[in-house]
A and B are shown apart, each in its own frame.
Chain A
Amino acid sequence: MALPKRIIKETERLMADPAPGISATAHEDNLRYFDVIIAGPTQSPFEGGVFKLELFLPEEYPMSPPKVRFLTKIYHPNIDKLGRICLDILKDKWSPALQIRTVLLSVQALLSSPNPDDPLANDVAQHWKENENAAIQTAQEWTRKYATA
């Protein structure tokens, strides 16, 4: 099936005008599959880290959301050890008006503001709630350990 023009356009725009701290590159052999790198936002426990993600646009895109997953280990209450992300716009709050760029910006924002009240990794969320400072310290350690380029 031919690639919809919207995907081509989005890819072109991501290459030509990337969002700050985000880079997405389509695979040459599968233009629906993207290698994504998100820099850890400043003022967050993940600052200085370089996080690798994968993004896949399903056949129904943009009517259904892209599939996004962290490849780099990260200590975050909304991201589990398999890299799956708990983010509403990737699930029931998806809208066809959203794009790859906006999705990645949302993920970046999620790094800045972890939400332990809607956890995916329960132990991390518990840690975050009970002792936020210690949790942030662990997150910083993990970032140093796993997310340094």
Chain B
Amino acid sequence: MASDSIKDSTSNHDRKDRDLGEEPLYDPRSLQYLEPTQASLQCSVCCEYFTEPVSAPCGHTFCRSCIEQALEVRSGCPLCRTTIDPSSLYEVIALSRICDELLVYCPHKALGCNHTCQRIQIGQHLKDDCIYIGTLCRVEECRKKLLKKDLSEHMESCPYKRVDCLMCNTKVQKSQLSEHHKTCPAESVTCPHCETTRTRLRHMEHIKECPRQIIPCSLSEFGCPWTGPRLELEATHIPQCPYEAIRGFLGISKTRMEALEQENKQLRGMFHDIRPQVQQLRDQVSELAESVQLMTQQEQQQAANGGGNGAYGGAIGMYGYMDNMYPHQGSQHQPMLSRNDSYDMVLAGDGIGENENEMRIMNRNNSLGAESMVSNGGGVAVDAHELLISENERIKSELETLTAGLASLELKQNMAIMTESMRMQEEVQSLRAVCHGLRMQMHYLLLEQQNRHHPPPGPPPPGSPAGGNNKSGGSGGAGGPGGSVPGGGRPLSTSGPLRPRFADGLGRQETKL
């Protein structure tokens, strides 16, 4: 019974202590006894007076916790080594009561508590009476550790204790009371301008309209230097204020200014956003410039190596350009040009043939150089590789343009040949006509000679034989122009100078048509 009660009381204390966040009230094994040591009442394991004594079947008695702990290590009785079954332990109530009645000192004797009582009552003492027990300040923010006897004194002065503000009736921490008085809305405050007194709460409203308060002009932001009591502002200053007259303008300019400022801000933000992009673009451009420079260098090199190639391409470009420039101009010149072109081209082609060989060699040298560069500068290897690829592509495209140019040139040449052959045909025709005319004249002359030697039967009219011969000569001329030409050499010296040229001109005119 007694042991039960002590158990209950300690467990209650424990719970309460935990709630308070305090240490356990006391350790029963560290209690100090008034009695001189009585070995017969002591546990042979802990060497203290029995706490909850239990006996084993062998007759030996120990504290319950001591024997249970010992049996965990060895199952024999600590005194006689007889095997003990833990369930066979039984309480020794009389011994427990004797031990509970032993007088003990309060565990806080060292702190000054001189209380002594029976062991069973020490829990109660510590719980209710002992003023040397540790506790915590009850104020949440403080929670200072102190002895129970000092608590009331501490509570008087605890800086975290809440006290009533006598003015506004709110709870304020004691340490902040003087600070609170500076802002307490119920505190009476004297207006520094009109020297009237009211609570702080009302003073805050009053100060906005105190007639004696010195305020600047309402247009001070635009530059009015006037300051004076509020009541004079409306009454005397405003009617005279030079800024009042332009208040509207000032207002407009202010709003405009604000809008501009905002816009400026926006633009600034945009600028900030764009700046990195610009930088990026700049970088890209510089990169491109570098690559272009590189390419032009290569091109120059190549041009130096294979000048004919470049010239060839250039020539084609030139001719194409000229064709485009003068598409409707005298076609008379075009064949001439074409003829020259083809001639030049042939020359150029010969040149190319020679130059190409040179170029190939040079290219080989170039590529060799590039390879050596690659092997020399390992870091440049990738760049060089890319460079080679791009060059390759460039050469390919050049080749394509060249083939296109070649095709167009071929076409042009064909055209030129065609026109030339047509012209030749016309010339042949006109020459044939001339030949015919000559033959007719020769015919006429022969007839006249015959008539002179042999008197003619009758002089024929000079126009009619020409006309008739012209008609017949058309068919006859076609048959034997070869025979008439050597014969035509003599009359040419007499009457030819004008005629052939005329005929030639005629032929030309016909081609023109």
Contact = CB atoms under 8 A, between A and B. Distances in A.
A97 B48 contact: no
B48 A64 contact: no
Interface stretch (A5-13, A33-41, A74-82): A5-13
A6 B47 contact: yes
B26 to A, nearest CB: 13
A62 B70 CA distance: 9
A95 B76 contact: yes
A95 B46 contact: no
B79 interface: yes
Contact-size category for B:
10 to 19
Contacts of B79: 95, 97
Interface residues of A, number: 16
B78 A5 contact: no
Interface string A1-40: 0001110011000000000000000000000000000000
Contacts of A134: none
Contact of B46 (A6, A60, A93, A98): A6
A109 interface: no
Nearest to A7: B47
A5 B74 contact: no
B44 interface: yes
A6 B46 CA distance: 6
B29 interface: yes
Nearest to A13: B47
Contacts of B29: 5
Contacts, number: 40
A63 B46 contact: no
Contacts of A10: 47
Among B29, B69, B78, B79, the one with the most A-chain Cβ atoms within 10 Å of its Cβ is B78
B78 A96 contact: yes
A81 to B, nearest CB: 31
A71 B85 CA distance: 41
Contacts of A63: 69-70, 72-73
A5 B30 contact: yes
Contacts of A60: 73
A97 B46 contact: no
Contact of B66 (A5, A94, A96, A99): A96
B110 to A, nearest CB: 15
A92 to B, nearest CB: 9
Contact of B78 (A6, A9, A64, A97): A97
B311 interface: no
Contact of A95 (B48, B72, B78): B78
Interface in B54-95: 66, 69-70, 72-74, 76, 78-79, 81
Interface string B17-39: 00000000000011000000000
A145 to B, nearest CB: 40
B201 interface: no
Nearest to A63: B73
Nearest to A9: B47
Contacts of B81: 93, 95
30 contacts: A4-B46, A5-B29, A5-B47, A6-B45, A6-B46, A6-B47, A6-B48, A9-B47, A60-B73, A63-B70, A63-B73, A64-B73, A93-B81, A94-B74, A95-B70, A95-B74, A95-B76, A95-B78, A95-B79, A95-B81, A96-B44, A96-B45, A96-B66, A96-B69, A96-B70, A96-B78, A97-B44, A97-B45, A98-B78, A99-B47
Interface of A: 4-6, 9-10, 60, 62-64, 93-99
In the complex, the 7 A-B pairs of residues with the closest C-beta atoms, listed nearest first: A97-B78, A97-B44, A95-B78, A96-B45, A96-B70, A96-B78, A6-B47
